[in-house]
Every structure is written in structure tokens, then in C-alpha cells.
Amino acid sequence: MQEFIPHRKCVGCMSIKPKKELLRIVRTDKGIFIDSKQKMPGRGAYICKDLECLKLAMKKKGLEKSLKVNISKDFYEKLEEFLKKLAVKSFDAEVWE
Ligand SMILES: [Zn+2]
């Protein structure tokens, strides 16, 4: 049996990649979150785990367009920090809040 692998488009570089290789950003009733487990309900957008893609997404307002909401500078900073930590091997994305 062939396994179905869901693919999603990065809001930065626009390339299509397997969902699990991307970082999910979710819009919920309580605001915007980094959904590292890809399990939170809400409208989601995906981005490569790459700072270059974050820069592109900011420039093109890819996240705003995809989630149909304004994204604060604070959230972008949080996302940037998250991606920088992801680059460090010891960082466990599962415990991120
Ligand atoms: Zn990308």
C-alpha cells in the first residue's frame, strides 16, 4: 500500500514540501501560534524551517495573506527566535510554548 504524504506550500519561497518538513503557524480564537506538533485546530499556514523563508514571508506578507490576519512584529520576532533555536541541535521543538 502506498503511503499518502501530505504536502503544503511554504508562504515564503512558495515551494511545495512534505508537511512534516515545514513549520505550521496556526490562527485560533486566541491568536496566532507556532504549532510545532501540527495538531492545533484552526486556520494553518506553513513555512520552511528556514530564516530566509521567514524574511521572504515578511516581505510578501505571505502569512498575513494565508491566515487573513495582521501579524505583529512581536510574532515575527518570536518566529525568528524559534527558527534560530531549531537550528541548534539540542533544542526540542516539542516543548515550545
Ligand atoms: Zn520556504
Q: Rg for the chain (alpha carbons), in Å?
A: 13
Q: What is the pLDDT along the chain (97 residues), one digit of tens a residue?
A: 667 889 999 999 999 999 999 999 999 999 999 998 999 999 999 999 999 999 999 999 999 999 999 999 999 999 999 999 887 755 555 544 4
**DSSP 3-state of 22:** strand
Rounded distance between C-alpha atoms, residue 91 and residue 5, angstroms: 26
CA 56–ligand 1 middle distance (angstroms) = 8
Instruction: Give residue 39 CA to ligand 1 midpoint distance, Å.
Output: 20
Using the mean position of ligand 1's atoms as its centre, give its distance from the Cα of residue 88 in Å.
Answer: 19
Q: What pLDDT is recorded for position 88?
A: 76
What CATH number does the domain containing 74 carry?
A: 3.30.1230.10
Compute, in angstroms, the gap from residue 67 CA to the centroid of ligand 1.
16
Q: Please state, as a whole number, how many other Cβ atoms lie within 10 Å of the Cβ of residue 57.
A: 26
Q: Work out how many domains the chain is built from and give that number.
A: 1
Domain range holding 80?
7-90
What is the C-alpha to C-alpha distance for residues 25 and 46, in angstroms, rounded to an integer? 6
Count of CB atoms within 10 A of residue 35's CB? 20
Is 24 domain-assigned? Answer: yes
Question: Angle at CA 17, nearest 5°, toward 16 and 21?
Answer: 150
63-76, pLDDT tens digit by residue?
999 999 999 999 99
Q: Which residues surround ligand 1, an ion (CB under 5 A)?
A: 10, 12-13, 48, 53
Would 2 be classed as within a structural domain? Answer: no
- The Å distance, Cα 54 to ligand 1 centre, comes to 8
In a domain, 97, yes or no: no
- Secondary structure class of 77 (helix, strand, coil): helix
Ligand 1 centroid–CA 17 distance in Å is: 9
